[in-house]
A and B are shown apart, each in its own frame.
Chain A
Amino acid sequence: MYYPWELYAATFVQLLPVVGGLLQGGNLPPARRWFMLWCLLSFIADGVQFIFGQVVGNNLWLRMIIAPVQVAVAFWALSLWQLDAKPRRVMRQAIFFLIPATIVIAMLWEGPVSFGDKSGPMLQLALLAGCVYTLVSRSVASTVRLAREDWFWITLGLSLYFALGVALGPVAMALLQGNTEFLKQVLLFKARADILAFVLMTIGMLCPLPRSLSLKPT
């Protein structure tokens, strides 16, 4: 089956932040390590879905397993970028609410042949809110140029990624019923946006490593 190059590029571009992190060496902050794990999981998830799509046919049910893991890793990475203990705690607690909610919604109302039209928007909106909160709160508190901060580029890229992902599930389900040409157009648009989002995240991974807290100006 023929797939446009944008879909392949959108899959492999998820490895760019991982490569960027590896280029920085072994002394990465925990937030970057967890974010690299999220990128790696996203790439592996796409690969597994591709293989299942080729071999079995229906690969949509895989998202019932993959989505909760990805959400947990993304929220954990975001929590590590928080300056205050309260938002960090809230983001970690969100994992324990969202994972059961996703599984229940997926099993009761979505079923195995679904793009996640009900649980998807909930997860993506929660992650978008977490990203925008991190972006704004850290920007306001920052004492160095934002272009040199990893979280600035990464949360900006993640915001773009999740903002376009919120409506993807319902739109894909609506288009799946009729002409799949329109669904292809939507997926291609999302793939192009994802490429841009991961390039932004890679810029973040290539930012200079933060100095230790004792060297930071108070």
Chain B
Amino acid sequence: MSASPQFVTEAYIASGLALGLLVFALGAALALYQRRTLRLREQLADCRRQLGAGPASS
């Protein structure tokens, strides 16, 4: 038993669309994750600066 050509074509296109969406979702998720990580790193650096400057200024 073999699948009809129409089914094979539709399955390829549907899975292709799904994979394309997955790739874009992965890219967007990584970009958001990395933006958040950068912001946290900046906050950490600020905190360290403040902690380092604190005793010296007092």
Contact A189 B12 (CB under 8 A): yes
Closest B residue to A179 by beta carbon equals B5
Q: What is the size category of the interface that chain A forms with chain B? A: 20 to 34
A59 within 8 Å of B by Cβ?
no
Per-position binary interface string of chain A over residues 118-160, scored 1 when its CB falls under 8 Å from any chain B CB and 0 otherwise: 0000000000000010011001101101110000100010011
Closest A residue to B19 by beta carbon equals A163
Residues of B contacting A167 with CB < 8 Å?
12, 15
Residues A162-197 near B (CB distance < 8 A): 163-164, 167-168, 171, 174-175, 178-179, 182, 185-186, 189-190, 193, 196
Residues of B contacting A171 with CB < 8 Å?
8-9, 12
**Count of B residues near A, CB < 8 Å?**
24
- With known contacts A175-B9, A182-B8, A193-B16, A146–B31 Cβ distance under 8 A: yes
Given contacts A175-B5, A182-B6, 18 further A-B contacts (CB under 8 A): A135-B30, A139-B33, A140-B30, A145-B38, A146-B31, A146-B34, A152-B30, A156-B27, A159-B23, A160-B24, A163-B23, A167-B15, A171-B9, A174-B2, A179-B5, A182-B9, A189-B12, A193-B20
Contact partner, B8, options A146, A175, A189, A193, Cβ 8 Å: A175
Measured CB to CB, the closest approach of chain A to B23, in angstroms, equals 5
B48 within 8 Å of A by Cβ?
no
Contact B5 A178 (CB under 8 A): yes
Q: Spell out A's residues near B (CB within 8 Å).
A: 132, 135-136, 139-140, 142-143, 145-147, 152, 156, 159-160, 163-164, 167-168, 171, 174-175, 178-179, 182, 185-186, 189-190, 193, 196
Per-position binary interface string of chain B over residues 21-57, scored 1 when its CB falls under 8 Å from any chain A CB and 0 otherwise: 0111011001101110010010000000000000000
How long is the Cα–Cα vector from A175 to B6 in the complex, in angstroms? Answer: 9
How long is the Cα–Cα vector from A174 to B12 in the complex, in angstroms? Answer: 12
How long is the Cα–Cα vector from A146 to B15 in the complex, in angstroms? Answer: 27
Contact A189 B13 (CB under 8 A): yes
Closest B residue to A147 by beta carbon equals B31
Closest B residue to A153 by beta carbon equals B27
Residues of A contacting B6 with CB < 8 Å?
182
Closest B residue to A132 by beta carbon equals B26
Contact partner, B20, options A142, A164, A182, Cβ 8 Å: A164
Contact A160 B20 (CB under 8 A): yes
How long is the Cα–Cα vector from A14 to B55 in the complex, in angstroms? Answer: 59
- With known contacts A171-B12, A185-B13, A163–B31 Cβ distance under 8 A: no
- With known contacts A174-B5, A174-B8, A163–B20 Cβ distance under 8 A: yes
